[in-house]
Amino acid sequence: MHSFRTLLVAFAAGLLLSCSSQDVTEKQIDQLLAKMTLAEKIGQMNQVSAGGDVANYAEALRKGQIGSILNEVDPVKINEFQRIAVTESRLGIPLLVARDVIHGFHTVYPIPLGLAATFDPALVEEGARVAALEATAQGIRWTFSPMLDIARDPRWGRMAEGSGEDPYLDACMAEAMIYGYQGRTADSTSMAACIKHFVGYGAAEGGRDYNSTLIPEHLLRNVYLPPFEAGVQAGAMTLMTSFNDNDGVPSTGNTYILKDILRNEWGFDGLVVTDWNSMGEMINHGFGADRKDVAEKAVNAGVDMDMMTMGFISHLEELVKSGAVKEKTIDNAVRNILRVKIKLGLFENPYIDVEASKPVQYAPEHLASAQKTAEEAAILLKNNGVLPLKGSRRILVTGPLADAPHDQLGTWAFDGEKAHTVTPLKALQERFPGQVEFVPGLRYSRDYRDRFDDVVAAARRADVVLAFLGEEAILSGEAHSLADLNLKGSQSELLSALKATGKPVVAVVMAGRPLTIERDLPNADALLYSFHPGTMGGPALVNLLWGDVNPSGKTPVTFLRTVGQAPMYYNHNMTGRPYSGELLLDAIQPEAGQTSLGNTSYYLDYGAYPLFPFGYGLSYTSFAYSAIGLDKDTYKVDDTITVNFILTNTGAYDGTEVAQVYVRDLVGSIARPVKELKAFERVSLKAGESRTLSVKIPVKELAFYGLDGKKKVEPGDFQLWVAGDSASGTPVPFAIH
């Protein structure tokens, strides 16, 4: 068994251009560049939001002043944009047509945090391929996805858009999505991926979006950069700079990350685009005096394309003439842009067949794939035995997310149409005609009510109560930070009123982030956390509740007990005074002595642990790990570690477990995380079945940037865990010499 990442990197070779076609591409670029005026070159570096009206942009297109458009999805208009660029501009260079296709195009998949919860890169790749098939059929050849920002603070609403807190899981998902979007070989269904936001954006202070970050070099190198490096290695064609300043330097003007690291260390030859007006926002940051100043700073830092500041189109020509920007810098940027256009085959065929694009949208196999993904993305967080449901005659369906076709699509689902959403209510009514009573209780997630008499009366008539709770789509995503992560409105009160009826209550939570649900758990006999599950969330959840599919999702982020614990993540460094079971608030005697509590790292009121650790998730069956061992005690730096273990399905249901391998480097030149995920495998076992598994981890995967700033494996003693989550298991020692 290979780790998923090894397989993907091998397969990246197929996607990158072969040497000879690379030469042809570079020659084609040379020829074009030789013909271009400075103004035409700068035009290629300009991206505008041209949704709506082709006529408004016709003149600029004819003059070659636009290299790329975003936010147009009508295929007829896209063809018209292309026709003007290709037939009426002097050089006929096609446009790159971009869109935020984040978790599906028309067929909406679970939000990216839910995709990460599947721990199933192959399925995530399939979903990205479906998104590419649907989007490219309508003329979209560039998506601003995947978002690779490590997010350790759920107050940050954009946690929804990424893979959570772990760099390894994030890297696996990055590669899967890039392969899915771009395809294994470039053809007319290839959609350029854009790894974003480079870099550190997820570390926004206090989880407040757009805020400053303070990520020091080791943390940047060891946590925030690795998913991007993996994305570059996987062949991502483009990259987007982030809004934040890190330690005072906004990313869009940061030469160190854009040139030294991205180009010189990693050899990235793709296109670097700014985020929306992030060049202009450098003026707000106080990093540039005016639009001309920030245009100069951005282009000299390594930005190739300006999204919506209009800084390049307005000022680059004079900046080149004054000598502040070299024409060679412009040539390099244009080279990076043309390379993407050539790789996508846009020069050969810039148009789409509008009629052929229709049957591709919401194709039955796309819906089936989205449903399977929603099934794998759901995490069973509690079950006192009520699930899977059997033989309920009368089902009460309640809660604000039970029939919320817009909200279950989640954030960044611009093109998903709610008319196509299958809600849990719809799926239940179809499966159990005449048995479902629907009393919503609350109209939307922030709705308030004092009494729930109607819902309680209905619950008394039912055999089982299904409460669909969570967040509306608008409460997560860009600019949607929250300081309180409890269920909003009267949702907790609704759940508690249902519990008081004594009927079995199953809660399903659809949300864009890990909410603080500790106070709600006692009021549910079972709780399934599905994130926002997308178009096919309804049937997926029904299959899970009735046991046609056994839950297998695992938490891609730590679930907090209370928001005051944020940020809390499993792969933290060990402190000098780790918690060792000291007293909590209620046990402290009045006037206790200053040092009587012991002095360790924890909250007096909430202790040291989260509600659910990273990697956690239950199943209807149970799994046991045994015979965990390594092929050797001591390894050399070039070796590969083989981790052997037996996984047994010890319960009564067939099921799938995500076996996780964590490693700790006991002593380093800098303090190291207490655990780091290094491999995982999804393993499906029949009830009672046992399987011997072996996972391979190249020792070089344990390398990190230490005190001397170099990436290497530091010899010494290590520990390794194989377990079903990040908080379980017994360490196996090994050494590297």
* Interface residues toward ligand NOJ, by CB under 6 A: 100, 144, 196, 275-276, 478
Least distance (Å) from ligand NOJ to the CB of residue 206? 18
Task: Write the CB contacts of 557 (distance below 8 Å, at least 6 apart in sequence).
Answer: 113, 151, 152, 154, 159, 164, 165, 513, 514, 569, 614
DSSP for 419-475, written as a single string: GG---HHHHHHHHSTTTEEE--SSSSTT---S--HHHHHHHHH-SEEEEEEE--GGG
CA distance 41 to 338: 10
Q: How is residue 492 written in tokens? A: 């907790």
Closest CB to ligand NOJ among residues 244, 530: 244
Measure Cα distances from 377 to 119, 369, 411, 540, 690 in Å. Answer: 8, 12, 16, 10, 24
Least distance (Å) from ligand NOJ to the CB of residue 571? 25
Between CA 445 and CA 98, with CA 472 as vertex, the angle to 5 degrees is 175
Q: How is residue 734 written in tokens? A: 């090994």
CA distance 441 to 494: 7
Measure Cα distances from 202 to 75, 175, 244 in Å. Answer: 34, 19, 9
Q: How is residue 448 written in tokens? A: 């308030």
Least distance (Å) from ligand NOJ to the CB of residue 90? 29
Least distance (Å) from ligand NOJ to the CB of residue 144? 3
Alpha helices in 110-210 (DSSP H): 112-117, 121-137, 167-182
Q: Is 463 a catalytic residue?
A: no
CA distance 734 to 737: 10
3-state helix, strand, coil in the chain (%, to 5): 35, 20, 45
* Neighbour tally for 132: CB within 10 Å: 25
Least distance (Å) from ligand NOJ to the CB of residue 520? 31
CA distance 554 to 169: 12
Least distance (Å) from ligand NOJ to the CB of residue 169? 20
Least distance (Å) from ligand NOJ to the CB of residue 274? 9
CA distance 63 to 91: 10
Residue 71 gets which letter from DSSP? Answer: S
Closest chain position to ligand NOJ (CB): 144
CA distance 519 to 530: 18
User: For the purposes of burial, counting CB atoms within 10 Å of the CB of 583, is it exposed (0-12), middle (13-18) or buried (19 or more)?
Assistant: middle
Give, for 228, the enclosing helix (H) or strand (E).
helix 226-233
Task: Write the CB contacts of 236 (distance below 8 Å, at least 6 apart in sequence).
Answer: 174, 178, 182, 193, 194, 195, 270
CA distance 559 to 470: 14
Closest CB to ligand NOJ among residues 144, 645: 144
Closest CB to ligand NOJ among residues 104, 724: 104
Least distance (Å) from ligand NOJ to the CB of residue 194? 7
Alpha helices in 242-401 (DSSP H): 255, 281-284, 291-301, 311-322, 327-343, 354-357, 364-377
Least distance (Å) from ligand NOJ to the CB of residue 204? 12
Task: Write the CB contacts of 53 (distance below 8 Å, at least 6 apart in sequence).
Answer: none
Closest CB to ligand NOJ among residues 101, 677: 101
> Are 557 and 614 contacting, i.e. CB atoms less than 8 angstroms apart?
yes
Least distance (Å) from ligand NOJ to the CB of residue 304? 16
Between CA 714 and CA 721, with CA 719 as vertex, the angle to 5 degrees is 135
Closest CB to ligand NOJ among residues 48, 379: 48
- Which residue of the set 120, 153, 170, 275 is catalytic? 275
CA distance 553 to 601: 31
> Are 188 and 346 contacting, i.e. CB atoms less than 8 angstroms apart?
no
CA distance 734 to 715: 11
Task: Write the CB contacts of 18 (distance below 8 Å, at least 6 apart in sequence).
Answer: none
Q: How is residue 325 written in tokens? A: 């920007």
Closest CB to ligand NOJ among residues 482, 643: 482
Beta-bridge partner residues of 509 = 469, 529
Closest CB to ligand NOJ among residues 307, 536: 307
Least distance (Å) from ligand NOJ to the CB of residue 275? 5
User: For the purposes of burial, counting CB atoms within 10 Å of the CB of 412, is it exposed (0-12), middle (13-18) or buried (19 or more)?
Assistant: buried
Least distance (Å) from ligand NOJ to the CB of residue 196? 6
Least distance (Å) from ligand NOJ to the CB of residue 153? 17
The sign one gets for the Cα dihedral 449, 455, 460, 466 is: negative
Active-site residue set: 275
